[in-house]
């Protein structure tokens, strides 16, 4: 793998300039990217990620619940007045098939919208990791940035290990001499914890928060590797798998 790779540790750890002309993979294992993947697999038409300064509430009165729904969380909890929160298990085909989803989360959609100047933006989680790597390998140019969404400007180990798994698949069993610090950290974490992804995720900080909020089942769901084989991508502000 000759292309340059770097890893960023949170949704605010990069600038518009950093992503310009790059291929970006936004990773949010718990839970935004796993939820986006699930919603699209269950037939949602598309997902429009809202920026952190978008006041999602102002959309509410214009929405037609038959075609466009507002979903997302604040501090992990469904926001009052939203149709759904951010649990992937809520995004069933009954709820989302044929719908456009306006989606706002604390860190995941912030990382996605802050990446909008990139050449290409892909959505990643453990649910689609092999398909994601295949997509990256099928391109032949440009730097790849793996952007871990983290939590409130801090890193989340489950996102970093997912980035490490991607670098492991891209670089093979030996890191290139010129690997960046970010790649070395992610790769090293994957080597230490990658043998048991469900155990790693069960013990991470955000899993503890989700458990306290009663979202235990999300943790096991988001720990599944390669449940899906599609790669959501953001084009002109809209995420889809077409």
Rule CB under 6 A: which of 144-183 touch ligand MLT? 149, 151
Classify residue 108 by burial, with Cβ atoms within 10 Å: 0-12, 13-18, 19+: buried
From the CB of 23, what's the least distance to ligand MLT, in Å? 21
Residue 141 CB contacts under 8 Å (≥ 6 apart), including other chains: 3
Residue 76 CB contacts under 8 Å (≥ 6 apart), including other chains: 86, 106, 209, 210, 213, 215
Q: Is 128 in the site for ligand MLT (CB under 6 A)?
A: no
Q: Which is nearer to ligand MLT, 48 or 179 (CB)?
A: 48
CA atoms within 13 Å, Cβ hemisphere of 123: 35
Residue 146 CB contacts under 8 Å (≥ 6 apart), including other chains: 5, 6, 7, 8, 25, 27, 124, 163, 166, 167, 182, 186
Q: What is the DSSP letter of 27?
A: E
C-alpha 83/C-alpha 70 separation (Å) is 6
Q: Which is nearer to ligand MLT, 18 or 28 (CB)?
A: 28
Read off φ and ψ for residue 32, nearest 5 degrees. Answer: -55, -45
Q: Which is nearer to ligand MLT, 107 or 135 (CB)?
A: 107
From the CB of 159, what's the least distance to ligand MLT, in Å? 10
In which element (H, E) is residue 242 found?
none
Rule CB under 6 A: which of 196-235 touch ligand MLT? none
Residue bearing tokens 């077409």: 242
Q: Which is nearer to ligand MLT, 30 or 179 (CB)?
A: 30
Q: Which is nearer to ligand MLT, 30 or 234 (CB)?
A: 30
| Residue from 5, 7, 24, 32 binding ligand MLT (CB under 6 A) | 32
Q: Which is nearer to ligand MLT, 106 or 167 (CB)?
A: 106
Q: Is 31 in the site for ligand MLT (CB under 6 A)?
A: yes
Draw the binding track, 73-112, toward ligand MLT (x: CB under 6 A; -: no contact).
Answer: x--x---------x------------------xxxx----
Interface residues with ligand MLT (CB under 6 A)? 28, 30-32, 73, 76, 86, 105-108, 149, 151
């Amino acid at each position: 793998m000759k292309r340059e790779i770097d890893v960023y540790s949170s949704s605010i750890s990069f600038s518009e300039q950093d992503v310009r002309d790059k291929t970006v993979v936004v990773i949010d294992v718990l839970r935004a990217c796993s939820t986006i993947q699930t919603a699209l697999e269950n037939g949602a038409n598309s997902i429009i990620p809202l920026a952190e300064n978008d006041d999602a509430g102002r959309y509410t009165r214009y929405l037609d619940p038959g075609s466009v729904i507002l979903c997302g969380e604040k501090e992990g909890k469904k926001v009052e007045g939203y149709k759904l929160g951010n649990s992937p298990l809520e995004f069933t085909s009954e709820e989302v098939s044929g719908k456009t989803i306006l989606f706002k989360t604390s860190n995941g959609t912030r990382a996605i919208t802050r990446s909008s100047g990139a050449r290409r933006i892909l959505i990643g989680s453990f649910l689609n990791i092999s398909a994601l790597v295949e997509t990256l390998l099928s391109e032949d140019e440009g730097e790849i940035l793996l952007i871990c969404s983290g939590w409130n400007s801090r890193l989340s180990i489950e996102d970093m290990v997912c980035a490490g798994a991607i670098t492991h698949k891209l670089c093979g069993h030996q890191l290139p001499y010129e690997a960046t610090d970010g790649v070395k950290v992610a790769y090293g974490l994957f080597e230490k914890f990658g043998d048991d992804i469900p155990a790693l995720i069960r013990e991470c900080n955000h899993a503890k928060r989700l458990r306290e909020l009663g979202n235990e089942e999300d943790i096991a769901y988001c720990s599944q590797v390669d449940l899906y084989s599609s790669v959501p991508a953001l084009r002109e502000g809209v995420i889809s798998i077409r």
